[in-house]
Amino acid sequence: MMNILVAIDRFEDILTSGEASSYIEEGVKTVYPNANVISVPLFDGQKHLIEGILSWQQGIKYNWQIQDANLRQREVTAALIHDCLYIDCSRVFSQTADLLDTSSYGLGQMILNGLDLGYRSFTIALGESQVYDYGIGMLEKLGAVFFDIDDHKMTGPLSSAHIKHVRRIDLSGLDDRLSESTFKVISDLDYYLFGNKSQVADSIIEDAVKMTIDNNIWYLNEQYKKAGLSVNPKNGGHAGGLRSIFESLFDARILSSKDMIFEETSLKDLLDEADAVIYGGGTVRPSESSLVAQAITQKAGPQLYIYLSAGQQFAPPSEAVHFLNIYPDMSTDTDKLKLGIQLQNSIKTILAIAKK
């Protein structure tokens, strides 16, 4: 019996990993009706953490009204898996209207919700967050106190617009339950905290906005130093410094999405056992494959490895992998059904040829 592993990434926001897998499975079964097909839905660390983790394991969904980066109410979903609360910051902080006035207050809300429900283990994916307050909103919600030039307590929700007024920080009032908690942070981006290698420097925004944000993060970092919090400015700049806060203040373990998926699933063993591996993904802009797909490419061996791509995702740099761009003209307006049928027909054709 053929053992076929399907480990496909998303195709932009057109097909999720799970949806793409379903189309491929149908194509596989046409050629190998008795094959043992195992699908491992993936995510790339930037989007779809909650959907991804719930497709691997059973869990509980929580839908909460949370304030986003500009302090607007938004419904977001968290997931509880084996007493660990999974939080996807992309859902809270990816649609930012005013980059000069952002707040991580909503993330503090979600962590407090978890603490109130009795949870002490958190996995937080920073994803495509556009929040540049260096944690001031989150920490204030979790019990930290920020003081102005007159030594008056600053009242929140605090945002990046308040940073220039901070003169003293007291971290002693952080919620006691945090000391009993463990944090894992999913981050694929190794930005500097500030300067020309920071996240904001890499963003497509006006130079004046970049300079203001960069100065704010540098200034708040100086205030954190006075409060006894020291971070490495050459790392941890993802999500406007949130990664640094979790690593330095809460002793968080930092993982890439690749590391997480290999830990949370039996993907390594499945790769060894498979007779054929079907993986890939699609992007509209020119880009490399996800970290997980790159790791799969590195493990390509004597089995049949098939990479299905779309749009402008680059081919994997391995002669051991059979690469096919199934939809070069993919755009954000591409029809989901057309893309899915193309995936299904492509894998049917490839496997039928390989079978001969």
Q: Tell me the pLDDT tens digit for each residue of 315-329.
A: 999 989 999 999 999
The maximal CA–CA distance of the chain, rounded, in angstroms, is 80
Q: Can you tell me the mean pLDDT for 188-208?
A: 91
- Cα-flanking dihedrals φ and ψ of residue 223, to 5°? -70, -35
> How far apart are the C-alpha atoms of 70 and 57, rounded to whole Å?
33
For residue 295, what pLDDT is reported?
A: 87
Q: Can you tell me the mean pLDDT for 243-271?
A: 89
Has residue 47 got a pLDDT over 70?
Answer: no
> How far apart are the C-alpha atoms of 306 and 321, rounded to whole Å?
6
In the chain, the percentage of residues whose pLDDT exceeds 90 is 74
> How far apart are the C-alpha atoms of 13 and 335, rounded to whole Å?
11
Count, residues in the chain: 356
Least confident segment among 60-64, 254-258, 274-278: 254-258
On whether the CB atoms of residues 17 and 45 are closer than 8 A, the answer is no
Has residue 40 got a pLDDT over 90?
Answer: no
Reported in sequence order, the residue ranges of 161-303 that DSSP labels E, i.e. its strands, are: 168-170, 182-186, 253-255, 276-287
| pLDDT one-digit tens code per residue, 306-318 | 999 999 999 999 9
For residue 142, what pLDDT is reported?
A: 98
Has residue 42 got a pLDDT over 80?
Answer: no
The pLDDT-based confidence of 16 (bands split at 50, 70, 90) is confident
> How far apart are the C-alpha atoms of 102 and 162, rounded to whole Å?
10
Closest to 254 (Cα-Cα) out of 194, 192, 188:
188
Looking at the DSSP assignment, which residues form a beta bridge with residue 15? 11
| pLDDT one-digit tens code per residue, 122-180 | 999 998 899 999 999 999 999 999 999 999 999 989 999 999 999 999 999 999 999 99
> How far apart are the C-alpha atoms of 193 and 251, rounded to whole Å?
17
Return all residues near 167 (Cβ < 8 A) that are at least 6 apart. 147, 148, 149, 151, 223
Q: Could you give the C-alpha distances from 128 to 103, 188, 238, in angstroms and in order?
A: 15, 10, 9
Report the amino acid identity of residue 339: L
| pLDDT one-digit tens code per residue, 236-256 | 999 999 999 999 999 999 998
In the chain, the percentage of residues whose pLDDT exceeds 70 is 97
Q: Could you give the C-alpha distances from 49 to 33, 52, 78, 112, 177, in angstroms and in order?
A: 32, 5, 9, 20, 25
Domains of the chain as residue ranges with CATH: 3-42+265-355 (3.40.50.10350), 49-255 (3.90.1510.10)
For residue 48, what pLDDT is reported?
A: 63
Has residue 97 got a pLDDT over 90?
Answer: no
The pLDDT-based confidence of 288 (bands split at 50, 70, 90) is confident
The pLDDT-based confidence of 61 (bands split at 50, 70, 90) is very high
Has residue 43 got a pLDDT over 70?
Answer: no
Q: Can you tell me the mean pLDDT for 216-232?
A: 95
> How far apart are the C-alpha atoms of 197 and 112, rounded to whole Å?
32
